[in-house]
Amino acid sequence: MENEILLAKTTIFVKSLLESDSSGHDWWHIYRVRKMALLIAKAEGADMFMVELAALLHDVDDWKLTGDKAGNQQTEKWLHSCGAGQQLIERVKTIIEGVSFKGAGVNTSTKDPECSVLQDADRLDAIGAIGIARTFAYGGSRGRGIYNPGIPPEMHSDFENYKKSNAPTINHFYEKLLLLKDQMQTPTGRVMAEQRHQFMLRFLDQFYAEWNNEPI
Ligand code: NI
């Protein structure tokens, strides 16, 4: 029961925090990731409570939204204010820290079962039709162009360079989105990623065909 109250309170907190976001990291992203994470957690036998709590809070301190300033502080402060113990707070922080993509050449694989589940759920929301929509929304929010044939994609081998990138959004497909299918941590995630991956390839084919005025 205590866990349910914490989840309910956290839902209200995160919703109010991210409701007006327009960079693709809005409340509905959290809503989908939570749903997907619970589905994968069930199939993989992970701790449902930990997965749900971490899913709700996973973007609250994300570098893309906070500009890296706040670190993990909002999550910690929130859980602390709800009376959560230090052990629980540390566990949630550990799961969340393992979730984020940090560049094409940066290894973010994990053996932590709850982190694996959440990482897959978050990355599934970054690919497929929703992933495409979110990617352009994010690019727009950062002042990035749609496509520039003169700027080739870059494979970032460290997180700092990846964060600094200001390339057109189409490049992001090669620098991140198309790589995610092979980085899925769970069997359930791998199956779901495959279909979404194929859809992105079809999108790119159509995009270039239209760009070059070629038959589709
Ligand atoms: Ni996310």
pLDDT digits (tens, 9 = 90+) for 116-166: 999 999 999 999 999 999 999 999 999 999 999 999 888 777 777 767 678
* Predicted confidence (pLDDT) at residue 16 exceeds the cutoff of 90: yes
Q: Are 96 and 71 in contact (CB under 8 A)?
A: no
Ligand 1 centroid from CA 212, angstroms: 34
Ligand 1 centroid from CA 107, angstroms: 18
Q: Are 125 and 30 in contact (CB under 8 A)?
A: no
Ligand 1 centroid from CA 74, angstroms: 15
| Nearest of 171, 215, 177 to residue 193 by alpha carbon | 177
Report the residue count for the chain. Answer: 216
How confident is residue 69, by pLDDT bands cut at 50, 70 and 90? low
The per-residue pLDDT for 21 is 87
* Cα→Cα distances 13→9, 62, 72, Å: 6, 16, 16
Q: Are 119 and 99 in contact (CB under 8 A)?
A: yes
How buried is residue 139: exposed, middle or buried, by Cβ count under 10 Å (0-12/13-18/19+)? buried
Q: Are 40 and 189 in contact (CB under 8 A)?
A: yes
Backbone angles phi, psi at 12, to 5 degrees: -65, -40
How confident is residue 64, by pLDDT bands cut at 50, 70 and 90? low
Ligand 1 centroid from CA 120, angstroms: 10
The per-residue pLDDT for 215 is 84
d(CA 115, CA 40): 11
Ligand 1 centroid from CA 62, angstroms: 8
Listing DSSP states for 102-153 in one string gives --TTS------HHHHHHHHHHHHTTSHHHHHHHHHHHHHHTT--S--TTS--
Which pTM was predicted? 0.90
d(CA 215, CA 32): 36
* Predicted confidence (pLDDT) at residue 178 exceeds the cutoff of 90: yes
* Predicted confidence (pLDDT) at residue 1 exceeds the cutoff of 70: no
The per-residue pLDDT for 154 is 80
Ligand 1 centroid from CA 182, angstroms: 18
